Amino acid sequence: MLSRGYIAFRGLLSRTGCLNIEQKRNAQVSIVGAANEIGSNLAILLKQNKYITRLNLYDDDEKVLRVGAELSEIPKGPVVTSYNGNSFLPASIRFSHLIIMVSRVPRRPGYTRDQMLEVNAPPVQKLCRTMADVNPDAFLAISTNPINSIIPLASSLLFRYSAYDAAKIFGITHIDTCRARAYASKALNVNPRHLHIPVIGGHSDKTITPLFSNITPSHYKVDPCQADTLTRLVKKAGMEVINNKLGIDSATLAMAWSINEFADNILQAMYGDYVVVNSYTSNPHYGTRFFSGPTRVGCYGIVETCNSNFNMTEYEKHILGNAITDINKDVARGEEYARVIAEVKH
């Protein structure tokens, strides 16, 4: 729950703790990692968001200053402020209601998830430490890979820093359900806007589990042969993008689009609505401590995590069974790495 001092200082929250519904543009959002391709594309999408008053851009790369300067030439939307360098991280996230971290070293051919964790963990730790100091009440959404380990790492660090709220930390896996909708719409020759497909498990080739048997509206049907093909496509989509880009970068445009859709939903929740987003969160329902899937969110954070009420085919159950083993390993890896880096720093 947001602290009373924070609410009073900002004057942006109603008596219930939700953002004031009557003021349609009064949220502050920070993008950490705004100089990279995902961050800059996300920034221009959020510049059009009707809920945001201030959009703060942060990056270690001074390129973020040029990104901010260019966005400031657009004569509509939120005020954009850019911050560059470690000393400006606190200012960039102070008072923000939603902090989105897209900083990352992109996945490349031959990279193991252990290597990605080692490279991407330090900026996550820096953000968690800073959040604990200046803005522990914010929603934190992370797209930095490997998400299966990064979210347990960030959760462990925030707990160590006495700033952990399981209802307000999200691993953004919205890209998985976006891809599932896109592939299914092509197979069924329908508009993807009309489709909803839960994708559960984790966020890696081995743990992504699309549930095409649960597609809605229910009059659309995906036969077992199609489901097998579509599942393989969704699982391999990330690596396919890397191969198409000749190993230079991973998905950027689709990631920015899906993170923007996620952020827009979260902002709606802050105004008092209940929304459902696909995210990797603290979740004990499947025998793991963290799990990805449709997550119900309200103005105080997560209301209901993905539960085990899905009717799955035997094929989906088999995939999920294998995924759970890998998720538990990934969670343990992230929590152990949090212990190691915390001890090194202290």
43's tokens: 């920034």
Give CA–CA dist 216/181, Å, rounded. 10
**Both structure tokens of 223:** 């036969």
Active site residues: 203
* C-beta atoms surrounding 177 within 10 Å: 26
What interhelical angle do 174-188 and 253-270 show, nearest 10? 110
Residues 6+ away with beta carbon under 8 Å from 226: 187, 212
345 membership: H or E segment, kind and range: helix 314-345
**Eight-class DSSP state of 141:** E
Per-residue burial over 79-111, b if 16 or more Cβ lie within 10 Å, else e, is ebbbbbeeebbbebbbbbbbbbbbbbbbbeeeb
Contact 141, 263 (CB under 8 A): yes
Of 158, 152, 186, nearest in space to 99 by CA: 158
Q: Which long-range contacts (CB under 8 A, 24 or more apart) does 66-70 make?
A: 67/34, 67/35, 67/39, 67/40, 67/43, 68/34
